[in-house]
Amino acid sequence: MKKRFLALACVLGLLTGCGDAVVEEPYIPDTTNQTGTQEAAGTADTGSSSAAADTQKEDSGSSSSDGNIVVGFAQVGAESSWRIANTESMKNTFSEENGYTLLFEDGEQKQENQIKAIRSFIEKKVDYIVLAPATEDGWDDVLKEAKDAEIPVIMVDRMAKVSSEDLYAAWVGSNFELEGKKACAWLKAYADSQNVTELNIVDIQGTMDASAQIGRTAGLNAAVEENGWNLLGAETGNFTQAQGKTVMEGFIDKFGDDINVVYCENDDEAFGAIEALKEAGYQVGTDLAGGEILVMAFDSTNPGLTSALSGEIGCDTECNPLHGSRVEEIIKALEAGQTVEKQQYVDEEIFASPQDITSIDVDGSSYEVTVLTQDVIDGRAY
């Protein structure tokens, strides 16, 4: 399979110039002593790569000899419902039935594991490498190794800071700062509709230095400065339910009744925050004027939107995990010797349980706010 890249050398010169992890069950609202079933992942094996993928690894010491395109996917981990849905999108797209052999590696939230996986893919002479970076920095050396081996790298979800854009072929993912700006535009409009002028916010951040954390935090910080809101505290929950709960417990101890908005940088952190608030005796909901604490989240997974439909999450800004088809489009274009866009953003929505706000404006553009119903949730793919 590697030989075909010699014929694409000129094009690629321009293009390449975006163990088992413990997965927490998501919190499902209004259910006692029971956790969710990872609806976002369908019937995903959340503990490790599938048996099929394991078989592929064992059989694939080098590029496929059966005509399949060999794709190595270095996933960051399985830390959330969103991540599991992202993994399943890749596995479903790059299947044997679709003409691919997928080598899947779970990095377990560690960059060193992902670097090791990429080097393994290079050694096995895969045709393409797909990388969901754990953090933004520290990728130059291994990406240079992939470039020297003439293997295009496609990054998904989070971005990586690299010395040259020649080190990767394309990136597919979300505009994380825009996500933060949209969430905060909704918060401003909703607080105004409730005649609430004082917002005291705590930010449960994602994994530090991940693109999603950087963008969503930046969106909030800009809104805090612009609107004169009070940002009481910010601390990482590492995109997990358990750490989200722990961070929220610390905020409750420190700030107590002053908090009226909890800005969680993914759904799983919101589930943990809601648990902590309820256990401490606080009312969670959308009645800001009546003293309820408003919880905001990102990702819009099935469990997240279910919680939003109940009113426990006021606003959930989408981060679309279904990257598989977009990555396949890029691979097909590269196979045909075509030029691809360097950065490709996926389409995303914003969801809310209150019906008061139907649209928001961000940087001169208008975005529709989808008011949640069960039909909306049932009609979604994750």
pLDDT digits (tens, 9 = 90+) for 25-61: 334 444 333 333 333 333 333 333 333 333 333 344 4
pLDDT value at residue 64: 57
Instruction: Fill in the amino acid letter for 312.
Output: E
The CATH classification number of 2-173+321-345 equals 3.40.50.2300
Instruction: Confirm whether pTM is higher than 0.85.
Output: no
Whole-angstrom Cα distance, residue 273 to residue 240?
10
Instruction: Give the sign of the dihedral formed by CA 183, CA 188, CA 191, CA 193.
Output: negative
pLDDT in tens, 117-134: 999 999 999 999 999 999
pLDDT value at residue 150: 98
Quick one: CATH architecture of 176-319+349-378? Answer: 3-Layer(aba) Sandwich (3.40)
**Dihedral pair phi/psi, residue 332, rounded to 5°:** -65, -40
Whole-angstrom Cα distance, residue 247 to residue 265?
12
Closest by Cα among 64, 23, 62 to 46: 23
Closest by Cα among 292, 223, 301, 291 to 269: 301
pLDDT value at residue 65: 54
Residue with tokens 């389409």: 347
pLDDT value at residue 72: 98
Give span(s): CATH 3.40.50.2300, the chain.
Answer: 2-173+321-345, 176-319+349-378
Mean pLDDT, 10 residues at a time, the chain of 382 residues = 39 35 38 32 34 37 71 93 92 97 96 98 98 94 98 94 95 95 98 97 95 96 98 97 98 98 97 98 97 97 96 96 95 97 92 94 96 95 83
